[in-house]
Amino acid sequence: MNKRQKFFAYPYGLWMTLFILLPILLVFLYSITSKDTNQIKTLRFTLDNYRKFFDPLYINVIIRSINLALISTFFCLVIGYPVAYIISTTNLKKRNTVLLLFILPMWMNMLLRTYAWMTILGNNGLINSFLNMLGLPSFRLLYNNTAIVIGMVYNFLPFMVLPIYTVLSKMDMKLVEASHDLGADHKTTFLRVIFPLSLPGVISGIIMVFMPAVSSFVIPRLLGGNRSLYIGTLIENLFLVTGDWHFGSSVAIIMMLIILASMSILNRFDVDKEGGAGLW
Amino acid sequence: MVKDRIKKLYMSLVFVFLYAPIAVLVIYSFNDSTSRGTWGGFTLRWYAELLSDRDIKTALYYTVVVALLAASISTIVGTFTAIGLYSFNKMPKAIMLNLNYLPVVNPDVVTGLALMILYLSANMRLGFLSMLLSHITFDIPYVILAVLPKLKSMNKHITEAALDLGATPMYALRKIVIPEIMPGIITGFLIAFTLSIDDFVISFFTTGSGVTNLSIVIYSMARRGVKPTINALSTLMLGAVLILLFLINKRSSLIDEQKNNGGFI
């Protein structure tokens, strides 16, 4: 192709510098400067914002968020793997319909999907009204960690199923047959052949669920109430309620690092990486 | 076989989990009672209330306008960038692609607040323009990621042949390259459009002064508790999605048919 076509990419290069690189640098700048000055001339560099973060209060926020994200990822994997496996073994005619039915809820706005659980779990929601009808007392189902995990699994389950399904459906079935021919039973074949081969899908599934789960602030806000903070809600609070941009920026930088670190760790296990953006 | 039955049972349970919440929303949108425990009879009251709600109407307007503008602009910019990137050397290409990947892997909260800091640092008022710019920023990477594979799988010799036969590079681009990568461009546009329509977090951080989108309205309504008008809104949005999917499906099967016919001739 023509060399002059290179110029086509230059405007976006400028755009990226302005709208992707510069904002992140600004966040970083805010995270290492102190609060009392706004003028560039009198900028004071400090690591206080990061030091503040090591207060047990905020460390707990991180631990709580990671914990919740891990639990949600675990449930997505446990529920999602069989789904992916079953879809990949249904016959081709039915498969597309099943797949479409599975993806369809994802087309609905995420806030509505989360809101739907408020109507089900709420104090006079569906489950509690049903219990009342049977003469049983209501339970407090909404505004706790279980509700958050349900919301996350509900929202992020397709992110786990789709990559695993893709890998499973591309798998060479001759390997499975060979394993059976060589005398392995179903369990051994699954554990020694199918599962190891599907690992790349499992890993991208884990990444794709863990990332939004750890940073989400909508689901904790709507289903978790206001009682406990998570990284996402902490950042939102610091920026939009308290207006403490400096500390908020340091929390944002730390969250970014957590996500990039967990991604690069998991990516090492991913054998057949598809070229291009290998750095992240 | 027992195994088949277990599989079917499992899939039905998963589908119940997936669809029960949606079904509840749809059913309650016709319920003539504010408390959700009781069924007060069939009503279209919430739909009427919804249609007379000014906030929701303006939000719908901004959602659609921003999504259309952002998706169109990012499709054009993204396509040209992808074509340009294709003839880049390895190193600068890798740098560009990695930078391009940043909004994809970065949590939405971080992208949103970083853009908010940028706009406020530049003394820009938060509103329609800032929201549109943010949407374009997070849309373009997906367009590039959709178009680039099509360029890679394209047969290079066709363009070379066109140039040999006397086409100017621009003519070859218009008549050969763009039609060849059209499926990627359309996919990119659709991805960008759906992302924009659905976005909440980034819009939430980068908008202001009365400009909202549907997600923001739903969020602020849901924070105040459950409200039947949201159910009506969800039902309408679900209907819109279903119609859209139906049309896309019909279109693609139509194209398949045409292709098959063409193949026989």
Compute the distance between CA of residue B36 and CA of residue B19 in angstroms, rounded to an integer. Answer: 18
How many angstroms separate the Cα of B252 from the Cα of each of A96, A271, B3, B213, B247?
14, 34, 35, 30, 9
Q: Is residue B78 part of a domain?
A: yes
Q: Is residue B260 part of a domain?
A: no
- pLDDT for B187-209, tens place per residue? 899 889 988 988 999 999 999 87
Are the CB atoms for A232 and A217 separated by under 8 Å? yes
CATH number where A162 lies: 1.10.3720.10
A278 contacts in B (CB within 8 Å)? 94, 98
Residue A153, φ and ψ in degrees, nearest 5: -60, -45
Nearest residue in A to B218, CA atom: A111
Q: Is residue A114 part of a domain?
A: no
- pLDDT for B135-174, tens place per residue? 999 999 999 999 998 888 888 888 889 889 988 888 888 8
How many angstroms separate the Cα of A266 from the Cα of each of A111, A142, A262, A273, B123?
29, 33, 6, 12, 40
Q: Is residue B160 part of a domain?
A: yes
- pLDDT for A140-155, tens place per residue? 778 888 899 999 999 9
Q: Please tell me whether the interface predicted TM-score (ipTM) of this complex is above 0.90.
A: no
A178 and B CB contact within 8 Å: no
The pLDDT of residue A270: 58
- Are the Cβ atoms of A120 and B21 closer than 8 angstroms? yes
A280 contacts in B (CB within 8 Å)? 98, 101-102, 105
The pLDDT of residue A278: 39
Bridge partner list, A33: A45
Question: Cα-Cα-Cα-Cα dihedral of A215, A57, A27, A207, to 10°?
Answer: -20
Share of chain B above pLDDT 90, in %: 33
Compute the distance between CA of residue A177 and CA of residue A195 in angstroms, rounded to an integer. Answer: 15
The number of domains in chain B is: 1
Residue A148: CB atoms within 10 A of its CB come to 28
Compute the distance between CA of residue A207 and CA of residue A257 in angstroms, rounded to an integer. Answer: 14
The number of domains in chain A is: 1
Q: Is residue A7 part of a domain?
A: no
Touching A: B residues 246-265, CB under 8 Å: none
Compare A70 and B227 and report the one with higher pLDDT.
Answer: A70
Q: Is residue A186 part of a domain?
A: yes
- pLDDT for B126-146, tens place per residue? 999 999 999 999 999 999 999
Closest Cβ–Cβ partner in B110, B113, B169 for A4: B169
B22, B101, B105, B174: best mutation site toward chain A, by most A Cβ within 10 Å? Answer: B105
CATH number where B148 lies: 1.10.3720.10
The pLDDT of residue B263: 40
Compare B72 and A142 and report the one with higher pLDDT.
Answer: B72
H or E segment at B200? none
How many angstroms separate the Cα of B19 from the Cα of each of A13, A88, A160, B44, B192?
43, 21, 18, 22, 26
pTM of the predicted protein model: 0.85
Are the CB atoms for B131 and B115 separated by under 8 Å? no
pLDDT-derived band at B259, boundaries 50, 70, 90: low
B38 contacts in A (CB within 8 Å)? 129
Q: Is residue B118 part of a domain?
A: yes
Compute the distance between CA of residue B157 and CA of residue B162 in angstroms, rounded to an integer. Answer: 8
Q: Is residue B35 part of a domain?
A: no
> Which tokens in the block code for residue A139?
């339970």
Residue B31, φ and ψ in degrees, nearest 5: -90, 125
Which residues, in sequence order, are CB contacts of A8 under 8 Å at separation 6+? B80, B81, B83, B84
Touching B: A residues 214-273, CB under 8 Å: 214-215, 217-218, 221-222, 232, 235-236, 239-240, 245, 248-249, 252, 255-256, 259-260, 263
The pLDDT of residue A79: 95
Nearest residue in B to A4, CA atom: B84
Question: pLDDT tens, position by position, for chain A (280 residues)?
Answer: 456 778 888 899 999 999 999 999 999 998 888 866 555 556 777 888 888 888 888 899 889 999 999 999 999 999 999 999 999 988 888 888 888 888 888 888 888 888 888 888 877 777 877 887 888 877 777 888 889 999 999 999 999 999 999 999 888 888 888 888 888 888 888 888 889 889 889 998 998 899 899 988 889 988 887 777 888 889 988 888 888 888 999 999 998 888 888 888 877 765 544 433 333 3
DSSP state of A38: -
Residue B43, φ and ψ in degrees, nearest 5: -150, 155
- pLDDT for A31-85, tens place per residue? 888 866 555 556 777 888 888 888 888 899 889 999 999 999 999 999 999 999 9
Inter-chain Cβ pairs, chain A and chain B, closer than 8 A: 235
The pLDDT of residue B101: 85
> Which tokens in the block code for residue B216?
């923001």
B103 and A CB contact within 8 Å: yes
Closest Cβ–Cβ partner in A9, A122, A222 for B81: A9
Give A228-236 contacts, CB < 8 A, sequence gap 24+: A228/A64, A229/A61, A229/A64, A230/A61, A230/A64, A230/A65, A230/A68, A231/A61, A231/A62, A231/A65, A231/A255, A232/A65, A232/B107, A232/B109, A234/A58, A234/A61, A235/B109, A235/B110, A235/B113, A236/B109
Listed residue (B199, B127, B116) closest to A24, CA to CA: B116
Q: Is residue B47 part of a domain?
A: no
Domain that holds residue B80: 53-253
The pLDDT of residue A279: 39
The pLDDT of residue B252: 67
Domain that holds residue A172: 64-89+145-269
